[in-house]
Chain A
Amino acid sequence: MRKYTPKDNVQAKSYYTDRYWVAPRVPRAAVEEGTHFADVVKTMAKFAKESYIEVGTLVIHIDAKENFEAIKTLKEQCGYTQCSEQSAVDYLAQDGEFELFYQFLNVNEAKRVRIVCRIKQGEAIESIVPLFNSANFAEREMFDMFGIKVNNHPFLKRIIMPDDWEGHPLLKTYPLQGDEFASWYEVDKIFGKEYRDIIGPENRDPARIDRYDTKRFSRVGYEVPFGADISEGEKEQPIEYSETLLVDYNKDSGKQLDHRK
């Protein structure tokens, strides 16, 4: 029977997992009273659905509709003046949702907060560029990589992939090697789609390696005459190196490359 491969997540998976194995969880600590984080949690109580400390960072889960207001409160009342990072995690296969995270830094307290929210597929999120300019590039990258629309972004355009690219590379449904469109991108763009047949898959990629091509590829350890047909398999011929290549000139010195400096 052919092995079942799920279509909604084509990323690499472990070839074997013990059926009784349950993954442990990184410990989540409650916020202690009297700390800086306790004040943040108190200020953010209106928005927070859940908050805890994970590996030294305060994580606050909020409703995606309130993201702008919540982050404004965090910036103006809690002193988190830098947005270090903003991106998403693809949970479409499990929940049909994206998990968005915003990572913030308070320079005076040297503390970090992560705001996490979830949006359904096809929903848009409000831009936080009016609050943090650093989100400009980060949100564009998120749009590029996941296709998440950002409302009121000043210039929502693909940033890393070309403008006319199809698909969003960091989705779990996007294969690592690229899809059909990706593999023919240059050919389509320069010559047109009708040239796909003329050029053929063997010529579209200049880095392609054909292991049966004995004219353009050397075969270390399995040398065959130039242009020989080896599609049926070839005879193994051990390599014989000349003795002079194997003289160790550094034998007597304790360290190699002794005289370089």
Chain B
Amino acid sequence: MQQPNKLTPFFENLNFERDDNTMVINFGPQHPSAHGQLRLVLELDGEQVVKAYPDIGYLHRGIEKMAENMTYNEFLPTTDRLDYIAATSNNYAYALAVEKLLGIEAPRRAQVIRTMLLEINRIISHLFFIATHALDVGAMSVFLYAFREREFGMDLMEDYCGARLTHSAVRIGGVPLDLPDGFIENLIAWCDKVDHEVKHTYEALLTENRIWKMRLEDVGVISGEDALNWGCTGPMLRGSNVKYDIRKEEPYELYGELDFDIPVSDRCDSYGRYMLYMQEMYQSTRILRQLVPMYKESSPELMAHAPQYISAPKEEIMTQNYALMQHFVLVTQGMRPPKGEVYVPTESPKGELGFYIKSEGEPYAYRLKCRAPSFFHTGLLQDILVGTYIADVVTIIGSTNIVFGEVDR
């Protein structure tokens, strides 16, 4: 029995010792495999999990509340802190939702750059996944190799926007900058490197590795129906033999014009999901290669022309009075989108990242709800962990690829 006092308060109504054979253990929030701040309360019968209760909220920063108190442009850098592994995906999902609300579209070159950044972020995120997942399962060297390629990817992001993790590389209505000199060459070189390393290093190290297969095969099995029911999206859904990728089914940006495949796995287990992540990296490099000629053909506008909502280019602000006036109003008061509500889903590396925005015509969003894929994947843990062994818990958490920035928000 716990002895609550002021310094050790009685947090949960939990008995850690039971009269029956089960034992309650606390996993996290400071566990290295908890991927941030996940606290799992597990009830064990021997080594088997009888009941699992994911406890979240250790990284809660009230981002939805902040959205109600910030103008639309002010809020954009805050979205970096959702899924901090692939920050541009969040920036983009938010910017796209606001653009849908405003009814504007980014110019062609901005679209190409955005799609490029999204795919670079997808590869960065997948490399991070394979690195940490392998480390959790016990394959240390994959972690080191994958982080090396991830560093080069982050160097690319740094070349573009100056930041490595919190990019804010997308603006509402376009992108802030054109690609720097030599970016395309570095990008192609990096794509070659990623393709080569995925094939000859990670897959060579893991795919047929006996220990890796024993740890992953038939672990964390989730059927397609369950995956839909629990709100799984992205690789978690496609790993359960449901072929649904928002990039293909509800195309946004340039994905309608690009030629790429949606890998699906019918294994429904962690090994299938691992294979899926590997295949998705090939598809992302394939998309990136197709974007290079598209970039070269596009005209140089970077921001949409919508003077009511979006400031004119800097040259115009500095030379034309009316552009300066618009800019002043937009900076001091913020843009006022029309009244209405939108829900815009995008395919982030982790799954369906959607922003629900309710606007009442004010410069502040009346309500902003961030539909984070990891939130629902964390909810799934209470179902799929039951019946597994304690040693597999870490594998399953790693395989769901959750990031606590977007779970707690």
Interface residues of A (CB under 8 A from B): 11-16, 21, 23-28, 54-55, 57, 59, 81-85, 87, 89-90, 101, 103, 105, 107, 110, 112, 114, 132-134, 136-138, 141, 145, 159-163, 169-170, 172, 174, 176, 189-192, 254-255, 257, 260-261
Whether A26 pairs with B103 at a CB distance below 8 angstroms is yes
User: Of B115-123, B165-173, B213-221, B364-372, which binds chain A?
Assistant: B364-372
The answer to whether A24 and B339 touch (CB under 8 A), given A14-B364, A90-B367, is yes
Whether A82 pairs with B354 at a CB distance below 8 angstroms is no
Minimum C-beta distance from B226 to chain A (A): 8
Whether B229 pairs with A11 at a CB distance below 8 angstroms is no
- Chain B residue nearest to A88 (CB atoms) is B367
Whether B333 pairs with A15 at a CB distance below 8 angstroms is yes
Tell me the complex Cα distance, A135–B71, Å.
30
Whether B340 pairs with A103 at a CB distance below 8 angstroms is no
User: Of B20-28, B56-64, B282-290, B312-320, which binds chain A?
Assistant: B56-64
Whether A81 pairs with B228 at a CB distance below 8 angstroms is yes
- Chain B residues with Cβ below 8 Å from A254 are 181
The answer to whether A13 and B56 touch (CB under 8 A), given A85-B343, A190-B7, is no
Minimum C-beta distance from A202 to chain B (A): 22
B297 interface contact, C-beta 8 A: no
Most buried by A among B343, B359, B375, B409: B343
Known: A23-B362, A83-B231. 4 other contacts (CB 8 A): A26-B101, A84-B371, A105-B345, A254-B181
- Chain A residues with Cβ below 8 Å from B155 are 260-261
7 smallest CB-CB distances across A and B, nearest first, come from A23-B361, A134-B231, A26-B340, A137-B379, A110-B249, A160-B57, A12-B69
- Chain A residues with Cβ below 8 Å from B196 are none
Q: List 27 A-B contacts (CB under 8 A).
A: A12-B68, A13-B362, A14-B333, A14-B336, A21-B336, A24-B338, A25-B338, A25-B340, A27-B103, A28-B340, A54-B340, A55-B342, A57-B343, A59-B341, A82-B231, A84-B233, A84-B352, A101-B356, A107-B242, A132-B229, A133-B379, A133-B383, A136-B382, A163-B11, A169-B62, A192-B6, A261-B152
Whether A133 pairs with B340 at a CB distance below 8 angstroms is no
- Total count of chain B residues near the partner, CB < 8 A: 71
Whether A25 pairs with B339 at a CB distance below 8 angstroms is yes
Which residues in chain B, 320-364, are within 8 Å of chain A measured between CB atoms?
Answer: 333-334, 336, 338-345, 352, 354, 356, 358-364
Interface residues of B (CB under 8 A from A): 6-7, 9, 11-12, 56-57, 60, 62, 64-66, 68-70, 100-101, 103, 152, 155, 158-159, 180-182, 186, 225-226, 228-231, 233, 242, 244, 249-250, 333-334, 336, 338-345, 352, 354, 356, 358-364, 366-367, 369, 371, 375-376, 378-380, 382-383, 408-409
Whether B60 pairs with A161 at a CB distance below 8 angstroms is yes
Name the prevailing secondary structure of the B interface residues.
Answer: mixed
- Chain B residues with Cβ below 8 Å from A159 are 56-57
The answer to whether A14 and B228 touch (CB under 8 A), given A57-B343, A101-B356, A170-B64, is no
The answer to whether A12 and B231 touch (CB under 8 A), given A25-B339, A133-B383, A163-B12, is no
Most buried by A among B56, B68, B341: B341
Whether A14 pairs with B371 at a CB distance below 8 angstroms is no
Tell me the complex Cα distance, A59–B69, Å.
27
Tell me the complex Cα distance, A16–B57, Å.
36
Tell me the complex Cα distance, A199–B366, Å.
37
Whether B367 pairs with A89 at a CB distance below 8 angstroms is yes
- Chain A residues with Cβ below 8 Å from B249 are 110
Whether B182 pairs with A255 at a CB distance below 8 angstroms is yes
Task: Among B367, B379, B409, point to the contact of A136 (Cβ < 8 A).
Answer: B379
- Chain A residues with Cβ below 8 Å from B159 are 257
Whether A112 pairs with B366 at a CB distance below 8 angstroms is no
Tell me the complex Cα distance, A24–B362, Å.
11
Whether B367 pairs with A112 at a CB distance below 8 angstroms is no
